[in-house]
């Protein structure tokens, strides 16, 4: 009876939740049945569910060339750096925004750093191209005006490791800082007042009050990022580098490798095997890291 009363009392909330539930059922859970493609020799006549089974041959083909190990390392390394750099910058940005005295300047600053989140990677790729183009890019135009030799960035393999990290941070730091900003705003102001009365300065308050109190949010966001650590941002790597073959050694990740293989070889089974492998590894890493967090501090774990 109590459950029925609660259901009737909260039926409006359940109806508000319904679109989100339908979204995940239609676009997340139903497509999961396509996992069977990873174990089939797909053909367009028989379709997804009636194509013949071929066991683990798709996985054998995926690993046979050896390139998958390089792109897997690139994916893992890039995402690890993205997590470290972005999380650090997001926390620093949120702290600085809360310490800005002028509300008007704070709102302008917050809007400015949040704006890149709404810019598509196609546009960002255009920005980067106009910066580093060898003939008329802004960077080389400036170098030429200063009497320096222009730099051919699109054949410089090593430089793009840093370019991608900076571009990724530029796009995502503003969005992530909003979450930390909300957490910092929710801290009781009396704690800061008491610390100030004890003689604690701003930096002391930040390191002794602000950062320790937002540790749960930091751990949660890092765990969510770790759950995607084996999945590359296809749009970023594909658009920003212009799918340049000269840069594959340092900019090719699993997602770009699989899409390019699918377009060239039309091997749907191999692509599905790669996607399944990514999901399983991400899930295993997330479970492992969450278990460690739960062992250290159970309140900070996701589950």
Q: What is the DSSP letter of 298?
A: G
**Token pair for residue 135?**
């003939």
In the prediction, which pLDDT does 91 show?
95
Contact indicator for 48, 42 with CB cutoff of 8 Å? yes
Q: Residue 116: its pLDDT value, please? A: 92
- Contact predicate 246/160, CB 8 Å: no
Which residue, among 184, 204, 233, has the nearest Cα to 82 in the 3D structure?
233
Give the separation between CA 276 and CA 59, rounded to whole angstroms.
10
Sorted by sequence, the CB contacts under 8 Å of residue 221 that are 6+ apart come out as 87, 176, 179
Look at residue 296 in the predicted model and tell me its pLDDT: 86
This prediction's pTM: 0.87
Q: Exposure of 34 by Cβ count < 10 A (0-12 exposed, 13-18 middle, 19+ buried)?
A: middle
From first to last of the 303 residues of the chain, give the pLDDT tens digit.
677 777 777 888 888 889 999 999 999 889 888 889 999 988 888 888 889 999 888 888 888 877 788 899 999 999 999 999 999 999 999 999 888 877 888 888 888 899 999 999 999 999 999 999 988 889 999 999 998 888 888 888 889 999 999 999 999 999 999 889 989 988 988 888 898 888 888 889 999 999 999 999 999 999 989 988 988 889 999 999 988 888 998 999 988 988 887 887 788 888 888 888 888 888 898 889 889 888 888 887 878
What integer pLDDT is reported at residue 1 of this predicted model? 63
Q: How far apart, in whole angstroms, are the C-alpha atoms of residue 106 and residue 192?
A: 20
């Amino acid at each position: 009876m109590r459950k029925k009363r609660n259901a009737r009392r909260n039926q409006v909330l359940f109806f508000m939740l319904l679109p989100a539930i339908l979204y995940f059922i239609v676009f997340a859970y139903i497509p999961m049945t396509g996992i069977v493609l990873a174990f089939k020799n797909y053909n367009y006549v028989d379709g997804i569910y009636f194509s013949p089974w071929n066991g683990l041959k798709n996985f054998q083909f995926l690993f046979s060339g050896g390139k998958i190990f390089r792109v897997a390392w690139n994916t893992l390394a890039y995402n690890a750096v993205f997590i470290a750099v972005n999380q650090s910058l997001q926390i620093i940005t949120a702290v600085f925004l809360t310490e800005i005295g002028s509300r008007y300047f704070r709102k302008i600053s917050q809007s400015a750093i949040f704006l890149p989140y709404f810019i598509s990677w196609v546009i960002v790729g255009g920005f980067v191209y106009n910066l580093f183009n060898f003939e008329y890019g802004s960077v080389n135009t400036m170098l030429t005006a200063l009497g320096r030799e222009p730099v051919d960035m699109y054949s410089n393999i090593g430089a793009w490791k840093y370019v991608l990290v900076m571009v990724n941070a530029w796009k995502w730091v503003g969005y992530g800082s909003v979450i930390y900003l909300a957490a910092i705003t929710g801290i009781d102001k009396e704690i800061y007042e008491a610390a100030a009365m004890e003689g604690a300065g701003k930096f002391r308050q930040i390191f002794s009050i602000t950062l320790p109190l937002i540790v749960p949010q930091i751990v949660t966001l890092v765990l969510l990022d770790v759950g995607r650590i084996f999945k590359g941002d296809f749009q970023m790597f594909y658009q920003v580098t212009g799918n340049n073959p000269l840069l594959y050694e340092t900019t090719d990740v699993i997602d770009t490798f699989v899409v390019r293989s699918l377009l060239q070889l039309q091997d749907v089974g191999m692509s599905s095997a790669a996607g399944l492998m990514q999901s399983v590894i991400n899930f295993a890493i997330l479970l492992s890291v969450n278990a460690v967090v739960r062992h250290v501090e159970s309140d900070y774990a996701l589950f």
